[in-house]
Structure 1
């Protein structure tokens, strides 16, 4: 387990002892595989040396070496394994329903239970799918919405009997998309007025598909119908006001917006989770339930101290303090200097690198 100078590290080296930041937080855990990204982070934090494991390398020619260079993949967590299987199961369910078969709810629920058993490891601001193609956007958005809704159900003090049903509401809220033209769903440009009206029908389609499923409670079915309703009556398909929108649907709306904006789409790149939180905070004044949004922001940012982030000017730093009155704009330590984002309003967190 040699102690290697930062300048001598190579992609593929494996960290053999936790690497700490100057403030004592864990930068990389033991077992982390060094890639070019890790090298950038080590440079930003001025880490001089790292304990690594390095495989013995046979002597080879320069040409052979150039041809054989590869970067070892990052280790996959159990959470990611169960997440990816949930995406596979949901994709399969969509295909079955599109073909006229019944929704395979037992298989979906069984895998969802396996995924939710790892929910303590899920951090809504920093979790990223390992493989998320633009074509699979709705599957990833739905699975992450299920995870987020499961946490929201607990954060907003719903009874435990509701937690799984709220997670199912998040998972199935876009099931009505199976009846839409795929070209509309994946169109990279702006939808025409006619296409927008067609798109809005996924809410009605979803409710009709879920209505006969006895194992789902009414909240799950109404979430498919109401997740685009807004508390001020400006939503669709029925223009309902707050009192007539089911509580599940209000939670699903928050998760749906968050993940729709933080995932890459065919027509735009993924947005920073902190930028999206600011947008949700604005939407809480009229469009979304303000109490639920406030709770979501409070809890989602609660355990971010020690997280590595990239600022909008490209600098990498570590969150060292989160003010409860301004949780979206924490204090970030960059090379020993504290950047207070409540003061430096022109800056924002562009990316959560790790927790």
Structure 2
């Protein structure tokens, strides 16, 4: 089966919905994948201002060729950067320098438990300065974990968090604080995941951890304790709470305290979104859990459950509905990689097709009919 996006007035009753359909304004799930569409469903979708519906269509011989073409496009993108031929969200030099600086900081923390916090202060300000200068819709960054997950993840989350903060018009001081939270939120993992760590660290973990799982779940507390031991006044109260509560959920079912909704620290709510996105697209053994489109789709699906809708909306304003690196097929059969969201709408991205930049906003007859995701590629391999 393949997906054909069809105008809602042209959808026949009895068609099968091939993708989850979300409310275009609130991101609430309206109709689940695999639903047989009847007249009531169509009427309901029209009332919710849904104009296009993904329906299943029988595959043909062309489908196999298109799948192979898309697989080739994905293979070319499966390098260290999300899209190898695209500039990074920060300049290449600044990005790698930031990675090196944070790697040095984390290495010292691992070895001694004590590092120079001025390095984090300076790095946070430098990242904010760079993000403000960039085109935020081009979310191209590292997905491999070569320098270590905590390092790569910290830098990527810091960049994305700063971009969201700027999108919702936070002042410079707040942007720097958001970046600090993003950089340091998982710093406790470098000790918590070890069977035995430094004496001081073990004493901290004993307060929270009984089992190996408890040790990992205690990493937000450990991060704050490590920083406070170096300098008790370095973290402002909001930053400390941002780190400690970054695993809280919007519905109140997170940890450690089960805080709900807007009562969760603002920095934590921002971090929850960028933490999930970067983790989902991170390559482990050369493969990501999800491609960018399906990672964003998963986040949208969990709005009001895990994530703050306002933060997700700000992230979508930056990324578009088809984030950088998404492989898509147009209605005319062309396959390309998304390199940026469009200037006027989140649903019509800028693509790279055979080395040429294509603005789908300016091609009135062209539109996306399918996302050629990692899961689809894996399924096609198993079938063959």
TM-score tier by shorter-chain length is: 0.5 to 0.7
2:180 counterpart of 1:168? yes
Equivalent in the alignment of 2:39 = none
Equivalent in the alignment of 2:65 = none
Task: Give TM-score, length-normalised by structure 1.
Answer: 0.62
CA distance in structure 1 between the partners assigned to 2:284 and 2:140 by the alignment: 17
2:107 counterpart of 1:95? yes
CA distance in structure 1 between the partners assigned to 2:307 and 2:348 by the alignment: 21
2:311 counterpart of 1:292? yes
Q: Once the two structures are superposed, what CA deviation does each residue of 1:250-308 show, in whole Å capped at 9, x if it has no partner?
A: 1111111111111113595253222111111111132111111112112222998xx78
* Matched residue SS, 1:175: coil
Equivalent in the alignment of 2:216 = 199
CA distance in structure 2 between the partners assigned to 1:321 and 1:118 by the alignment: 20
Task: Give TM-score, length-normalised by structure 2.
Answer: 0.58
CA distance in structure 2 between the partners assigned to 1:321 and 1:83 by the alignment: 21
Q: Once the two structures are superposed, what CA deviation does each residue of 1:123-148 show, in whole Å capped at 9, x if it has no partner?
A: 4654133x833561221111011111
Equivalent in the alignment of 2:166 = 154
Query: How far is 1:182 from its partner?
Result: 4.3
Equivalent in the alignment of 1:33 = none
Query: How far is 1:118 from its partner?
Result: 2.4
Q: Once the two structures are superposed, what CA deviation does each residue of 1:67-88 show, in whole Å capped at 9, x if it has no partner?
A: xxxxxx9798772222222222
2:117 to 100, 105, 108: 105
Say if 1:150 and 1:200 are closer, same or farther in 2 by CA, change over 3 A: same
Say if 1:216 and 1:204 are closer, same or farther in 2 by CA, change over 3 A: closer
CA distance in structure 2 between the partners assigned to 1:206 and 1:258 by the alignment: 21
Q: Once the two structures are superposed, what CA deviation does each residue of 1:216-271 show, in whole Å capped at 9, x if it has no partner?
A: 21222112211110011111122221243111111111111111111113595253
Equivalent in the alignment of 1:82 = 94
CA distance in structure 2 between the partners assigned to 1:142 and 1:286 by the alignment: 24
CA distance in structure 2 between the partners assigned to 1:231 and 1:197 by the alignment: 22
Equivalent in the alignment of 2:225 = 208
Query: Does the Cα contact within 8 Å between 2:322 and 2:349 map onto a contact in 1?
Result: no
Say if 1:321 and 1:94 are closer, same or farther in 2 by CA, change over 3 A: closer
Say if 1:291 and 1:318 are closer, same or farther in 2 by CA, change over 3 A: same
Say if 1:150 and 1:76 are closer, same or farther in 2 by CA, change over 3 A: closer
**1:1-355 correspondence to structure 2 within 5 Å:** 79-119=91-131, 120-121=133-134, 123=136, 126-129=139-142, 132-134=144-146, 136-182=148-194, 194-211=211-228, 212-265=231-284, 269=288, 271-301=290-320, 310-311=327-328, 316-317=335-336, 327=346, 340-341=367-368, 344=369, 347-348=370-371, 350=373
Taking CA–CA contacts closer than 8 Å with sequence separation of 6 or more, which of the two structures ends up with the larger relative contact order?
2
Query: How far is 1:310 from its partner?
Result: 2.5
Query: How far is 1:173 from its partner?
Result: 0.9
Query: Does the Cα contact within 8 Å between 1:204 and 1:237 map onto a contact in 2?
Result: no
Query: Does the Cα contact within 8 Å between 1:79 and 1:122 map onto a contact in 2?
Result: no
Q: Once the two structures are superposed, what CA deviation does each residue of 1:14-67 show, in whole Å capped at 9, x if it has no partner?
A: xxxxxxxxxxxxxxxxxxxxxxxxxx88xxxxxxxxxxxxxxxxxxxxxxxxxx
Bigger mean CA offset, 316-325 vs 227-236: 316-325
Equivalent in the alignment of 1:30 = none
Task: In structure 1, list runs of 5 or more residues that go unmatched.
Answer: 1-39, 42-72, 185-192
